[in-house]
Amino acid sequence: MERDEKIEEPNILSTMVPEWTTARLTLRRLAASDARTMFAYRSLPEVARYQQFVPATVEAVQEFITQYSSGEVGVPGTWFQPGIVLSRTGELVGDCGMHFPRENESQAEVGITLAPAHQGRGYAAETLEKVLDVLFCTMGKHRVIANVDPRNAASIALVSRIGMRKEGHFRKSIWAHGEWTDNLLYAILEEEWKNRLEH
């Protein structure tokens, strides 16, 4: 195991029921009652275009919620998928993925899906800034990455806005929606994130 992969203490978040708040949002576990709302935005063509998970039914979303939002947070080899909720109204407006790779426990991956009706209001950046704060400042991760389709200009602008750097462009590396697609790799280090917080 490499030096930056060594974990000396147990992950204190692994047994918590997470609820993280920002100025306008609450990130919480998805519930079965969220399935219809999540299906409504996840199945839209403009959202599905850049997603690996495109549900065909509400039941598929319910299975997704059970698999990715009911377990412990931070377990190596798993994803955790909190819902993004407007704190003022309780309305579900999106969801955010957090991947904890088994092969390198000092790193994590993030992704986000926001309903089109709620885009353009800064919610995505607000969400990812909170998630990065949790990953770096609470969980002690060394590096966080995001994978972006190069045709997804809005996501490229988003990850750049929160301080992630483009580290690579992989040609036709992902099979999605019946075609080979390119993938951009963005990343940010713990010291880069904390330096942003200080300035």
What CATH number is attached to the domain comprising 112?
3.40.630.30
Say how many domains are in the chain: 1
pLDDT value at 13 more than 70: no
The verdict on residue 47 lying in a domain is yes
The verdict on residue 114 lying in a domain is yes
The residue among 38 and 12 whose pLDDT is bigger is 38
The verdict on residue 26 lying in a domain is yes
What is the average pLDDT across 101-127? 97
The verdict on residue 3 lying in a domain is no
The verdict on residue 12 lying in a domain is no
* The pLDDT value given to residue 16: 53
Full-model pTM = 0.88
What per-residue string of b and e applies to 69-89 under the rule 16 or more CB within 10 Å gives b?
A: beeebbeeebbbbbbbbeeee
The verdict on residue 2 lying in a domain is no
Which range marks the domain in which residue 109 is found? Answer: 18-198
The verdict on residue 41 lying in a domain is yes
pLDDT value at 132 more than 60: yes
- 3-state SS string for 40-59: HHHCCHHHHCCCCCCCCCHH
* The pLDDT value given to residue 17: 55
What is the average pLDDT across 88-113? 97
Share of the chain above pLDDT 70, in %: 91
Share of the chain above pLDDT 90, in %: 82
Calpha distance 75→136 (Å, rounded): 16
* The pLDDT value given to residue 114: 97
Q: Report residue 140's pLDDT band, with 50, 70 and 90 as the boundaries.
A: very high
What is the average pLDDT across 8-19? 50
What is the average pLDDT across 9-29? 73
